[in-house]
Chain A
Amino acid sequence: DGGITQSPKYLFRKEGQNVTLSCEQNLNHDAMYWYRQDPGQGLRLIYYSQIVNDFQKGDIAEGYSVSREKKESFPLTVTSAQKNPTAFYLCASNAISGLPNEQFFGPGTRLTVL
C-alpha cells in the first residue's frame, strides 16, 4: 500500500536537545511538506521541498532544519533554537504536476518538551 509514514508517533525532548522527526513516502511524489499544528490551530508550514536536494522555508522555519537527500525521505530536525517546540508535526506530500494537487498526510508526530 502506498502512503506516508512518520516516526516516532510520540517524542519527548529535554530542553536544549535537537531531535529529528522522520517522514517517508512511497507515493512517488516529488513535493514534500512539514507542518506544525498547535491545539485548536490550523496548519502552519515549516519547510517544503519540490525536488531532491532543494527545499524552501515556509512561514515558521526558525529553529527547524530539513534535508532532502532522497525523493522518498524528508526528515525534520527541531533544534534547541526553537523556543516552543511542543506541537503536533505533520508531514505531507503531493505531485508537482497535474490536477488535483491534493496533499496526502502522514499520521503525525506529537512532540513534547519536558
Chain B
Amino acid sequence: QKEVEQNSGPLSVPEGAIASLNCTYSDRGSQSFFWYRQYSGKSPELIMFIYSNGDKEDGRFTAQLNKASQYVSLLIRDSQPSDSATYLCAVSGAGNNRKLIWGLGTSLAVNP
C-alpha cells in the first residue's frame, strides 16, 4: 500500500528560527510532491510543489526533494507566529492517476 509518513509533532520553534518539516513516501514511481498548510478549522492551501530532485525556493519557504531516498522536506526560514498550522505532505503517483496520497500532517507552533 502506498504510504506517506510525517512526524505528527507538535514541532515547536521560536520566532525567527528555521522550521524543518519532513516527509517520506513509499512509491518510487511518485512524480509530484506537495506541501499544504492547514489552519485550524480551515481547508488546506498549497504552499509549494516540487517534482525535480534538489531544492526549490519561494520566499521564506524551501522544498527539498531526494527521490533516491524517497524523502521530501519543507524548510521555513524566519518562522513567524502566523506560520503556526498543520503542514500536510501529499504525493502523486505515476501515469494518469491524479489522486494524491496524503500524510497525516505535522503540527507546527511558532512561539513569539
Interface of A with B (CB < 8 Å)? 31, 33, 41-43, 45, 48, 50, 88, 90, 94-96, 99-108
Contacts and interface: CB of A to CB of B under 8 A. Distances in A.
B43 A45 contact: no
Contact of A105 (B45, B49, B99, B104): B45
B52 to A, nearest CB: 10
A108 B38 CA distance: 12
Contact of A90 (B43, B51, B92, B105): B43
A28 B44 CA distance: 20
Interface of B: 31-32, 34, 41-46, 49, 51, 88, 90, 92, 96, 98-100, 102-105
B32 A108 contact: no
A101 B43 CA distance: 18
Contacts, number: 47
Contact of A43 (B31, B88, B96): B88
Contact of A108 (B43, B51, B102): B43
A46 B31 CA distance: 23
B43 A96 contact: no
Contacts of A31: 98
A48 B51 CA distance: 23
Contacts of B34: 100, 102
B42 A42 contact: no
A105 B44 contact: yes
